[in-house]
Structure 1
Amino acid sequence: MTAPSPSSPPAAFTLFAEPKRRVTGGWIALFATAWLGIWMAQLTPVQLLLPTQIDSLVGSASGTDSVLAFGIISGVAGAFALIVYPLTGALSDRTTSRHGRRRPWMLAGTLVFAIALFLMGLQSTLLGIGIFWSLAISGFCMVSAGITATISDQVPVGQRGFVSGWVSAPQALGTVLGLALVLGLTLGVFIGYTLVAVLLIVLVVPFILLVPDEVLPKVLRSPLNLLALVKGFWVNPVAHPDFGWTLLGRILVNIGNALATTLLLYFLIYGLKRPETAQEDLLLLTVIYLVFFIAAALGFGKLSDKLGRRKAFVYVAAYLQAVAALLLAFIPDFSIAQVAAGLLGLGYGCYMAVDQALATQVLPNTHSRGKDLGIMNIASTVPQAVAPLLGAFVVAALGGYTSLFVCSAIAAVLGGLAVIPIRSVK
């Protein structure tokens, strides 16, 4: 990482230096609560509301038309994420607001996300759904880019595995709570979207208001022009190989996970032929996934801090996901799906916590943490967005859900291999 030069103003040495002071339990609680709201608002639509809304418009006996429509809409939203994530990170690195660098972007993203979700519930055409889901994902990218950057800004390296676990654990919990509220209260699509939008604001705003965000003096701001922004989006993998390998591994593992999970409702309905109980089955599988995910994210994240090692955890986690996908591929039974859900939660929970910590340790430059983590976050979000389209193609053209889960396993295995060449982190 690049350190401030001896001629830099004194503020640079504290603003851009690696943090040393451990964050408090209160900080972590606010951080985890914010991520609970973010994940609930993003994953409840992905897992239930969005496919249900689309299926009601274009459903067919085989489900292929609905899956394709879901995939196309998710793919378009993914294209927006590809731009918004690094752009927000780069702009927040240069923001000199008296309220801090990250805070204005977290607040703006939360509002865009919530409003777009509310308007999603009013849509009755695929075009409208596509437009407002793309806006919702853009808001998601803005708020998550800002809050992720606070890990590198404020959390010391020796605490990042545990803190990153609190990015990951709320992911599973948020999905389960969102599904449980929508299904348990028998809410319609509009009320479901409105509920997660309100909860997003309620859960994220306390972190934005209460956690300090250091102000960037204007003298330290990097050049703010289109050329500088565009050039900054390219991180040379030859000059920074550890960053490149981490990014590649993250893309592959997240594609593998997304292929195994984003079409799960369709798999239950059309693959296992359980249309009458599909939503309840989805909730059960998600609860199983939740238990193992949270235990792995918090337990292995903290253990990786204690041992000072990341790579072995990431490697094994990727292979656990591959095993889960292969079980779904070759033993298409609901009981086996429950076992696979546990393995997938165990593997992905460990991966998300430890890989997030690893990612913060391979950033090329301390001055551009927000932008570089924005690029890393693309590797988490875009696979979730494009997987439905890729998965729909696999299901339609390559032999159904068996091929889908085999592709998921292959991606996870390759993602695990990508961490081996990393040298700067054990």
Structure 2
Amino acid sequence: MSTTEQTTAVPWTGTIPNSAQPRRPLRIGMAVALGILLVTGPYMGVNAVLLPARVAEIDPEGKASALAVIAAVSMVIATIANIVIGALSDLTRSRWGRRAPWMIGGSIGTALTLAAVPFVDTIGGLITLWCVLQLSLNAAIAPIIAVISDRVAPQHRGTISSIYSLGFSAGIYGGQIVGAQFLNAGSLGFFVLAGLILLAGPVCAILMREPSSLDMPKRSLDRRALLHSFALPARGARDYYLALIGKLLIVGAKFAISGYLLYILTDYMLLGGDDTARYISLVSLCLMLTAFGMGAIAGPISDKIKRRRLPVVIAAGLIAIGAILPFFNASPWALIAYALIAGIGMGMFNSVDQALNIEVLPDPDTAAKDLGILNLANTGGQVLGPIVAAAAIAVAGYQGIFVLACALAVLGAIPILLIRSVR
């Protein structure tokens, strides 16, 4: 009998000690990696490429402001969705487990929403649709991340987080590459990416074989239980909130640039349509390959040296260095240099940060809800970056984005350094 079979044959208590899992649960790592790849890839292909292009078609004069409004409204909905859906996932009791039903439902809802985007021709309609998308998107993402807390022992979390980060990096950057191929055929791109995201929940659920949660203690939904399940963590949560703030700022630094990559190339570097598509693909490829390379080794090294904070701080520094380079030169090579340097930092960050997040959780029984709140730093950073980038553009032009991204990364390292409970 395999180690994974041994750990899933016993009643599921919400976490696994080191003694019960001597070997790495690689199948679970593969499940969460493929799941997050199939969720984030299509989403980023739309969010970073096809959505800005659609906004530019509808409102060419006010495209930057319109994109920022969509991002702001999305952040509010994502905040609510992460907390509520994470808590409902923790409370779910079914023969298919706590997480699988939400993964499947979320991927179906997100696919249907993406497929509807080409039929919307107003900014108001896009805002409404993007709110619906954030609900379903976070219904898929929050449970996938919680699986690492549920079913991976602490001694393996760096490695499994590293595997997870490979899927995440492939999705974030590979999605932009795929999206760029449909820059001149937007409707087809939305349909293709919707089809891919439809696979996310079922593929992840089948691979991870989540055990039934029917034997887990059921909670009566009285006032106290509701507060415990849905409220923000209060006790022993200092490091938890430091990790949240640091993550939000570092992710915001990443997406301040990627959220406006299309406009940076067309309006700041003055490239034409064919060159723009080529450089979006090239920048995304560089980000993906460097993130892949570092992501594959950073997690296991973190497990070996038993340190989480140091790799995350180094990662923030690399992102800051890469982000400032295009400030000095409005040439595509500066973006390539950014992609190579910041990509290494992003790979390190993606692989180790998730392990750090799990180790600062105040209560493993509410892991999905608490990780959902931490995941707000991902979804929130994806919308915070474009919002503050829009303000930077208004004040200092497109050059302001790069100064802003550098500053966010540096500021994000400070809360991570202040964490006490994790080395």
The alignment's TM-score, normalised by the length of structure 2, stands at 0.91
Classify 1:173/1:218 alpha carbon distance in 2 versus 1 (closer, same or farther; 3 Å).
Answer: closer
2:315 aligned residue: 317
Classify 1:15/1:204 alpha carbon distance in 2 versus 1 (closer, same or farther; 3 Å).
Answer: closer
Inter-partner Cα distance in structure 2 for 1:410 and 1:314: 16
Pick the aligned partner of 1:382 from 380, 383, 388. Answer: 380
Inter-partner Cα distance in structure 1 for 2:384 and 2:223: 27
Identity of matched residues, %: 27
Pick the aligned partner of 2:233 from 223, 235, 244. Answer: 235
Q: Secondary structure at the match of 2:286?
A: helix
Aligned residue type for 1:31? V
1:221 aligned residue: 218
Inter-partner Cα distance in structure 2 for 1:57 and 1:15: 47
Q: Secondary structure at the match of 2:48?
A: helix
Native 8 Å contact 2:33 2:167 kept in 1: yes
Classify 1:299/1:16 alpha carbon distance in 2 versus 1 (closer, same or farther; 3 Å).
Answer: closer
1:77 aligned residue: 74
Residue 230 of structure 1 deviates from its aligned partner by 5.1
Aligned residue type for 2:412? G
1:292 aligned residue: 290
Cα distance per residue 1:217-247 (max 9 Å; x no partner): 47723343577445643223x7321112111
Native 8 Å contact 2:14 2:364 kept in 1: no
Native 8 Å contact 1:23 1:154 kept in 2: no
Native 8 Å contact 1:182 1:188 kept in 2: no
Native 8 Å contact 2:99 2:143 kept in 1: yes
Pick the aligned partner of 2:198 from 198, 201, 211. Answer: 201
Classify 1:284/1:197 alpha carbon distance in 2 versus 1 (closer, same or farther; 3 Å).
Answer: same
Inter-partner Cα distance in structure 2 for 1:78 and 1:221: 32
Structure 2 portions without partners, runs of 5+: 1-9
Aligned residue type for 2:356? L
Residue 168 of structure 1 deviates from its aligned partner by 2.2
Q: Secondary structure at the match of 2:199?
A: helix
Cα distance per residue 1:100-142 (max 9 Å; x no partner): 1111111111111111111112211112211112212221111
1:158 aligned residue: 155
Deviates further, 150-159 or 15-24: 15-24
Inter-partner Cα distance in structure 1 for 2:170 and 2:160: 16
Q: Secondary structure at the match of 2:396?
A: coil
1:352 aligned residue: 350
Residue 215 of structure 1 deviates from its aligned partner by 3.1
1:129 aligns with 2:130: no
Pick the aligned partner of 2:279 from 278, 281, 284. Answer: 281
Inter-partner Cα distance in structure 1 for 2:86 and 2:69: 26
2:186 aligned residue: 189
The alignment covers a number of residue pairs equal to 410
Classify 1:131/1:352 alpha carbon distance in 2 versus 1 (closer, same or farther; 3 Å).
Answer: same
1:212 aligns with 2:209: yes
1:331 aligned residue: 329
Deviates further, 338-347 or 133-142: 133-142
2:49 aligned residue: 48
The alignment's TM-score, normalised by the length of structure 1, stands at 0.90
1:3 aligned residue: none
Cα distance per residue 1:270-292 (max 9 Å; x no partner): 11111332121111111111110
Native 8 Å contact 1:107 1:205 kept in 2: yes
2:7 aligned residue: none
Cα distance per residue 1:60-100 (max 9 Å; x no partner): 3xxxx101101101211111100001111111111112221
Pick the aligned partner of 2:91 from 86, 91, 94. Answer: 94
1:37 aligned residue: 38
Native 8 Å contact 2:83 2:370 kept in 1: yes
Structure 1 portions without partners, runs of 5+: 1-9
